Chain A
Amino acid sequence: MSKIQNYALGIDVGSTTVKTVVLDENGEILSHRYQRHLSQVRETVAEQVKALQEQYPDAEFSVCMTGSAGLGLAQSAGIPFVQEVHAAFLAVKADYADADVVIELGGEDAKIIFLTGGVEQRMNGSCAGGTGAFIDQMATLLGITADELDALSLKAEKRYPIASRCGVFAKSDIQPLLNQGARREDIAASIFQAVVDQTVSGLAQGRQIEGTVLFLGGPLSFLQGLREAFVRTLKLDGEHAIFPENAPVFVAYGCAMFAKQSEEAQPLTVLLEKLSNARTGGNTVTGEPLFASRREYEEFVERHKAHDLSFADLQTAKGDAYLGIDAGSTTTKIVLITEKGELLYQYYAANRGQPLDRIVKHLTSIYTRKSPELQIRGAAVTGYGEDFIRAGLGIDYGIVETVAHFKAASYFCPDVDFIMDIGGQDIKCFKIRNHSIDSIMLNEACSSGCGSFIQSFAQALGYDIGEFSQLGLFAEHPVDLGSRCTVFMNSSVKQAQKDGATVEDISAGLSSSIIKNAVYKVIRAKSMDELGKNIVVQGGTFLNDAVLRSFEMELGRPVIRPSISGLMGAFGAALYAKEHCPKQTTLITPEKLAEFTYRTTNAKCGGCTAHCALNIVHFPDGGKFISGNRCERGAGKASGRQTPSMYDEKYQTILGCPKTPDGDTPIGTVGLPLALSFYEQMPFWTTLFTKLGFAVEMSNESDRDVYYRGQHTIPSDTVCYPAKLAHGHIEDLLDKGVDFIFWPCMSYNFNEGETDNHYNCPVVAYYPELLKANNPRLTEENFRLPYMDLNRPKSVSAALKVCLKGYTLRVPLSEAISAAYDAQKQYYADMAAKAQDMIAQARKDGKKIIVLAGRPYHIDKEINHGIHKLIASLGMAVVSEDSVAALGHLTEPLGVLNQWTYHARLYRAAQYVTTQTDMQLVQLVSFGCGIDAVTTDEVRTILERSGKLYTQLKIDEINNLGAAKIRLRSLVAAMEEGGAS
């Protein structure tokens, strides 16, 4: 009998995988394993331990566990635990002592360890994608595996900016790219780039990633493209980028080292015993089962059968037919109907990123199979891919989705007063009043935990979506997963799994959280009665019986779900084509369709300074479809006279503020960042400084590059994008070599009256403090941030006196200050007058007017992404909130404390809009603006009280206007309908 070996075992239980490493007595790795656990955490661990037991029957093991999903298991089984970053730290210290930084990407966590210059270990916050799960989710979206995604990325030619804060954001960037025909290779590379950007900005938080970098974790060892993206972005050479061979199990290795140091060796039987005795269950909240019995379910199914459509046979039907296409975000839907509304052909499937190819295939199939006596008289298309499909296939009409859905819903329920559509990517709800769309509620970019989420989840757990949702129907204890965004739900699911929830319970829980998301986040209903009497639900997600049932349970009564729930958009489009039947359809003929091909090229628009990156799809008839442009110019259409917009007007005025002092050479150069409050107070500060004899240097106009330049000094990744951009502007001014950068801190803004107070928001008020603390290049000398209150000239002059000490001012301070006040006043007056001119001109031209209500810094084109141009392209004039606010006077008390100057303007502008028949208000909200959580509901109330529509556009670094366009077009459609009734 041989002597008993003393080995060490490290078990790393991550969110998606289990990794084990065995060390021998000398600390050498004997064996390691890497396995997906598909949420069967305990079973998978036990399985691996059993395998080890067979492999090393004579050994005893010191054991320790680590990993995000290991924490709960270790606790309940009584197994020693070491925090995973710490485990990694131990292994790095032992094997790679000269590493400066360690980056580890796991399934759902991202970690970074700084080893030199003060050890620091960090993990992603609770709102952070950019991990393995994110990559998986994106691969799913493209209909490929992560490995295939990797292979594609290596053939990329260009990269698009994609947000990676969470999967939902990224999806809303990627989807339109797909639908517009961007190359999948380029998208794949962009996805990896997004992960890198997320790591650099979200994780490094103000520390530079320099020196020798060690890369760990599954994704970084399996995905070549991701590794290259990191190396390229961090500008590392081969020597300084280390990818250890055992990277996927590195943390388990560290964990084993920890076990070796601090735990007693035991036979593995003890460990197995502990595992099998582990208490499961715990603090997860569970809800009611969806169905008490199978009979109840059958009744439910029977009830919904009532809303079936009748069918006709494509091969034998004669007469007229109408084609409807819904090119949705993740799915493509096609229907062909007869004059009587019978269904001749239907198609519903994921577009796998190639919507046009799918449609061509199915249209071909329709053409070949249909009887010669059936004539397609008209066609309409709706959805994200509308323009693209329409251009390629000669579809007669393009309509906005909301209109299509309303058409379809009315067909099933003429008295419908509420429609809820949950698709793959969007939740759309609208109220119907007087047979027209009354108010539209769409999910914001951050809450779209919709259909595609369930699908990604099903796949992650190894099920197909149909099977997975079926599982939930008879779950005994559906878990309560809350109503937050998908990233949060991932961790909720993790916790539920830890507590022993079954796949069935999780499936049911996910269905119910989709409903909660829709009801409480999108509709924001206080009580279910608000929704109305006749509710029609639709969208592919409602085909899922568990989701439908959850909604009925939350509502407490039945709703109508047409059997073609997933096809409603296409059906509505077909109905539209039928109603508006053209004399001669322009739909592509069978002959032309047979030889249809297209190819994609890239170009840069030269129409203006924005230089939009264009994607051009060429069709065989010489036609082109251009996307990526923000205004009509890029689309290659005749430019004509651009509709003027106050956003451009203000922006140009701010840029044109005086920069050189009168007379002699300047007494110094002051740098003013083109950020936050400067977008309004530039006239004040430029006048002040030039009068005093300074030359003024403004930072460069914002673009993506400005953001990247300051990214490494951003300490809080959840702050709003306008604030994040400020970091780049500071870098820019520092590079320009100004004598000092000036940025005052101001608790208060100008008092414009009719408010409770006149604060700045905390970010605008004190951001200079944060900049000073996080940009090591800033000093007392080169960055001056005096505190002052512009309502008290005395405080301004006192603060400036201290701030500008040492300079021989050209005129007395008081004179310059009073000139500054005058300039600011003049600016306000000019802008108000200009707005009136624009309104008058728009009225003369018979155009509608939109008050685009945001904050002064929303005129920055990197912040508004050209939304004002988009509105102008829809044929409406754009004025800003501040240019009309003074004309509105609140007639009723507000339900909130009206204490921020910028936000007070929103209320007054809204009030003003209610007095003008040809105006509507669109509110711009920056993601992360906590104060807008207060203002949005109030602005909505003011508008809706007077029968106006409320439209909100949430913006972030996402550089895509697809979703905004749908909202704005829905608004236009609703305005037209409103005008007709």
Chain B
Amino acid sequence: MSAKFTPEMKKTHTILVPDMLPVHFRLLISILSAYGYRCELLQTASRAVVDEGLKNVHNDTCYPALLVIGQFMEALKSGRYHPDRTALMITQTGGGCRASNYIHLLRKALEQQLPQVPVISLNVSGLEKDPTSGFQLTAPMLLKFLYGVLYGDLLMLVSNQCRPYELKQGETEKVLRRWQKKLEEAFKSGAYLHTKKLYRQILDDFAAIERTKRNKIRVGIVGEIYVKYSPLANNHLEEYLLSEGCEPVIPSLLEFVMYCAVSKRVDGKLYHFFDSKVLKNSIGYELIYKMQKAQIKAVQEHGVFEPPHDFELLRARADRYINQGVSMGEGWLITAEMAALAESGTENIICTQPFGCLPNHIVAKGMMRVIKDAYPNANIVAIDYDPGATRVNQENRVKLMLANARKPEDAE
């Protein structure tokens, strides 16, 4: 049996957290540290990460598992962290997709080599609940996380809309970093609750960055959540798009959170049951939706930036093509995001997934035809990621998509 994270370890252990979204995860870590957990974000991206992954998990397992576990194992073996004083934290969603098994694959990898290293499951579905564990996810903590996601999304949204257009190179990054710090402080002081004020200040600060008016090709990135966001997994897709003179449009993390929150309610309706889980999730969903609407309203009223997609609109878009009962992996959300992007003028879309991703056969590659039928100008390319796929191969396919994007006059 693998090691448990005991209350004592809170003082002695450093908790390693895999990096998926640099902006968001840094905020989440500062929240955890306010609760006394010493956390560190893993940002290693060397070849050793992939090699450790290949050694430690079945090679047909999806790429995110391979990378996350590889990153952990590399860190533990590097000498940078003492295995007796290090714990690992990994998220678990608990759906019908393979991703629910990451934590088990991680424990398997640790079992023989580093059995003393405890693994903490971060989930909201009540998996691995243990009142004697040293890590307890409380309601207030959860709420703070939610704010973390909201602020992270806003920062990501506005910086993505500034970076391609900034006149002074590096300006956006500077403002972003400043706000990252400010928000970390706000989570300590409690000022984070003043969303209205903070939203306004963030929007003002980014709006003040000098930008060119030239239009650039907007390219949406959708797909499996880890590959979509993590530069390690998608070979720095965002950077590449920027270097090609495009504006990357990346849907917010909150959409995924809401997708998870609403799924119990959808299931209850679909399969005719109602229980406390449905109730709790419904209440949760309504709350989060309110918060999302407030953020959208703030962006709209400010008038400079394009707001994120309203989640109810996404649900309505999904209904045109696929049932919301499709809830494994990123499920119907990917289809909905593609439709919403195409509808809101981001017709060029890259759909990213690990090679052999099961849900994406259906919700991504399987739905491209109907999306293209509905939006004839939609220009979608599916890119698979895995340890063997080379960057040159992937970039060539992105290039093809961009060639199509640049020549709308030929594509009548």
Partner-B contacts on A (CB < 8 A)? 68, 71-72, 82-83, 85-86, 89, 93, 118-121, 123, 125-127, 205-206, 283, 285, 447, 480, 482-485, 488-489, 491-492, 494-495, 498, 516, 520-521, 524-527, 715-716, 718-719, 723, 745, 747-748, 757, 759-763, 765-767, 769-770, 773-774, 787-789, 792, 794-795, 798, 895-897, 899-900, 928, 930-934, 936-937
A761 to B111, CA, bound (A): 27
- Once the chains bind, are B327 and A747 in contact (CB under 8 Å)? yes
A179 to B360, CA, bound (A): 40
Q: Distance in Å from the Cβ of A108 to the closest Cβ of chain B?
A: 9
- Return chain B residues, CB-CB under 8 Å to A897: 100-101, 104
- Once the chains bind, are A68 and B358 in contact (CB under 8 Å)? no
- Return chain A residues, CB-CB under 8 Å to B389: 126, 488, 491
- Once the chains bind, are A770 and B366 in contact (CB under 8 Å)? yes
A894 to B201, CA, bound (A): 51
Task: List B residues 93-109 near A (Cβ within 8 Å).
Answer: 95-98, 100-101, 104-105, 107-109
A521 to B58, CA, bound (A): 8
Q: A897-B101, A928-B356 are in contact. Are A745 and B400 (CB under 8 A)?
A: no
Q: A715-B365, A795-B270 are in contact. Are A934 and B101 (CB under 8 A)?
A: yes
- Once the chains bind, are B369 and A773 in contact (CB under 8 Å)? yes
Q: Does B174 interact with chain A (Cβ within 8 Å)?
A: no
- Once the chains bind, are B404 and A86 in contact (CB under 8 Å)? yes
Query: Which residue of chain A lies nearest to B50 when distances are taken between CB atoms in the complex?
Result: A482
- Return chain A residues, CB-CB under 8 Å to B390: 488, 491-492, 494-495
Selected contact of A761 from candidates B96, B113, B356, B384, CB within 8 Å = B96
Q: Distance in Å from the Cβ of A684 to the closest Cβ of chain B?
A: 17
Question: What 9 pairs between A and B have smallest CB-CB spacing?
Answer: A484-B388, A488-B388, A759-B96, A770-B366, A86-B403, A933-B60, A716-B365, A789-B271, A83-B403
- Once the chains bind, are B328 and A765 in contact (CB under 8 Å)? yes
- Return chain B residues, CB-CB under 8 Å to A931: 98, 358
- Once the chains bind, are A125 and B271 in contact (CB under 8 Å)? no
Q: Could you jot down 7 A-B contacts, CB within 8 Å?
A: A85-B400, A763-B361, A766-B325, A774-B369, A788-B271, A795-B271, A933-B59
- Return chain A residues, CB-CB under 8 Å to B267: 747
A760 to B328, CA, bound (A): 10
Q: Does B252 interact with chain A (Cβ within 8 Å)?
A: no
Selected contact of A787 from candidates B323, B360, B386, B411, CB within 8 Å = B323
- Return chain B residues, CB-CB under 8 Å to A745: 323, 325-326
- Once the chains bind, are B47 and A762 in contact (CB under 8 Å)? no
Query: Which residue of chain B lies nearest to A894 when distances are taken between CB atoms in the complex?
Result: B104
A485 to B59, CA, bound (A): 11
A763 to B327, CA, bound (A): 12
Q: Does B262 interact with chain A (Cβ within 8 Å)?
A: no
- Once the chains bind, are A896 and B105 in contact (CB under 8 Å)? yes
Partner-A contacts on B (CB < 8 A)? 47, 50, 54-56, 58-62, 95-98, 100-101, 104-105, 107-109, 111-113, 267, 270-273, 321-323, 325-329, 355-363, 365-370, 372, 376, 382, 384, 386-397, 399-400, 402-404, 407, 410-412
- Once the chains bind, are A126 and B370 in contact (CB under 8 Å)? no
- Once the chains bind, are B322 and A715 in contact (CB under 8 Å)? no
Q: A747-B267, A769-B322, A795-B271 are in contact. Are A82 and B403 (CB under 8 A)?
A: yes
Selected contact of B47 from candidates A285, A759, A788, CB within 8 Å = A285
A937 to B267, CA, bound (A): 32
Selected contact of B357 from candidates A482, A516, A774, A930, CB within 8 Å = A930
Q: A787-B325, A895-B108, A896-B104 are in contact. Are A773 and B59 (CB under 8 A)?
A: no
- Once the chains bind, are B271 and A895 in contact (CB under 8 Å)? no
- Return chain B residues, CB-CB under 8 Å to A718: 355-356, 361, 384
Q: Distance in Å from the Cβ of A223 to the closest Cβ of chain B?
A: 25
Selected contact of B384 from candidates A126, A482, A936, CB within 8 Å = A126
Q: A126-B389, A492-B388, A896-B101 are in contact. Are A930 and B358 (CB under 8 A)?
A: yes
Query: Which residue of chain B lies nearest to A513 when distances are taken between CB atoms in the complex?
Result: B388
A39 to B394, CA, bound (A): 20
Q: A498-B392, A773-B369, A932-B60 are in contact. Are A763 and B358 (CB under 8 A)?
A: yes
- Once the chains bind, are B361 and A719 in contact (CB under 8 Å)? yes
A245 to B410, CA, bound (A): 25
- Return chain A residues, CB-CB under 8 Å to B355: 126-127, 718
A384 to B391, CA, bound (A): 38
Q: A718-B361, A788-B271 are in contact. Are A83 and B105 (CB under 8 A)?
A: no
A757 to B392, CA, bound (A): 41
Q: Distance in Å from the Cβ of B10 to the closest Cβ of chain A?
A: 26
A795 to B328, CA, bound (A): 20
Selected contact of B387 from candidates A482, A748, A896, CB within 8 Å = A482
A282 to B3, CA, bound (A): 42
Q: Which of B365, B386, B407, B411 has the most CB of A within 10 A?
A: B365
A121 to B370, CA, bound (A): 17
- Return chain B residues, CB-CB under 8 Å to A484: 386-388
- Once the chains bind, are B325 and A68 in contact (CB under 8 Å)? no
- Once the chains bind, are A716 and B104 in contact (CB under 8 Å)? no
- Once the chains bind, are A747 and B357 in contact (CB under 8 Å)? no
Q: Distance in Å from the Cβ of B161 to the closest Cβ of chain A?
A: 27
Known: A68-B396, A524-B59, A933-B59. 18 other contacts (CB 8 A): A71-B392, A72-B392, A82-B403, A89-B410, A119-B411, A126-B393, A283-B391, A285-B47, A494-B392, A715-B366, A766-B359, A770-B366, A792-B273, A897-B101, A931-B98, A933-B62, A934-B61, A936-B58
Selected contact of B362 from candidates A205, A527, A769, CB within 8 Å = A769
- Return chain B residues, CB-CB under 8 Å to A205: 365
Query: Which residue of chain A lies nearest to B267 when distances are taken between CB atoms in the complex?
Result: A747
Query: Which residue of chain A lies nearest to B395 when distances are taken between CB atoms in the complex?
Result: A71
A488 to B384, CA, bound (A): 12
A492 to B365, CA, bound (A): 25
Selected contact of A762 from candidates B104, B109, B111, B362, CB within 8 Å = B362
Selected contact of B96 from candidates A120, A516, A747, A792, CB within 8 Å = A747
A723 to B395, CA, bound (A): 30
- Return chain A residues, CB-CB under 8 Å to B392: 68, 71-72, 491, 494-495, 498
- Once the chains bind, are A770 and B361 in contact (CB under 8 Å)? yes
Query: Which residue of chain B lies nearest to A483 when distances are taken between CB atoms in the complex?
Result: B54
Q: Distance in Å from the Cβ of B355 to the closest Cβ of chain A?
A: 7
- Return chain A residues, CB-CB under 8 Å to B399: 71, 83
- Once the chains bind, are B113 and A495 in contact (CB under 8 Å)? no
- Once the chains bind, are B328 and A747 in contact (CB under 8 Å)? yes
Q: Distance in Å from the Cβ of B274 to the closest Cβ of chain A?
A: 11
Q: Distance in Å from the Cβ of A92 to the closest Cβ of chain B?
A: 11
Query: Which residue of chain A lies nearest to B407 when distances are taken between CB atoms in the complex?
Result: A86
Q: A494-B392, A747-B96, A747-B327 are in contact. Are A85 and B403 (CB under 8 A)?
A: yes
- Once the chains bind, are A773 and B356 in contact (CB under 8 Å)? no
A761 to B96, CA, bound (A): 7
- Return chain B residues, CB-CB under 8 Å to A495: 390-392
- Return chain B residues, CB-CB under 8 Å to A83: 396, 399-400, 402-403
- Once the chains bind, are A723 and B361 in contact (CB under 8 Å)? yes
Selected contact of B369 from candidates A119, A206, A747, CB within 8 Å = A206
- Once the chains bind, are B61 and A933 in contact (CB under 8 Å)? yes
Q: Which of B60, B112, B367 has the most CB of A within 10 A?
A: B60
Q: Distance in Å from the Cβ of B93 to the closest Cβ of chain A?
A: 11
- Return chain A residues, CB-CB under 8 Å to B50: 482
- Once the chains bind, are B329 and A773 in contact (CB under 8 Å)? no
Q: A485-B388, A795-B272 are in contact. Are A934 and B400 (CB under 8 A)?
A: no
Selected contact of B60 from candidates A71, A72, A773, A930, CB within 8 Å = A930
Q: A480-B47, A488-B388, A747-B328 are in contact. Are A769 and B56 (CB under 8 A)?
A: no
Q: A83-B400, A480-B47, A930-B98 are in contact. Are A766 and B271 (CB under 8 A)?
A: no
- Return chain A residues, CB-CB under 8 Å to B386: 126, 484
- Return chain A residues, CB-CB under 8 Å to B326: 745, 765-766, 769
- Return chain B residues, CB-CB under 8 Å to A126: 355, 384, 386, 388-389, 393-394
- Return chain A residues, CB-CB under 8 Å to B412: 119
Query: Which residue of chain A lies nearest to B399 when distances are taken between CB atoms in the complex?
Result: A83
- Return chain B residues, CB-CB under 8 Å to A715: 361, 365-366, 368-369
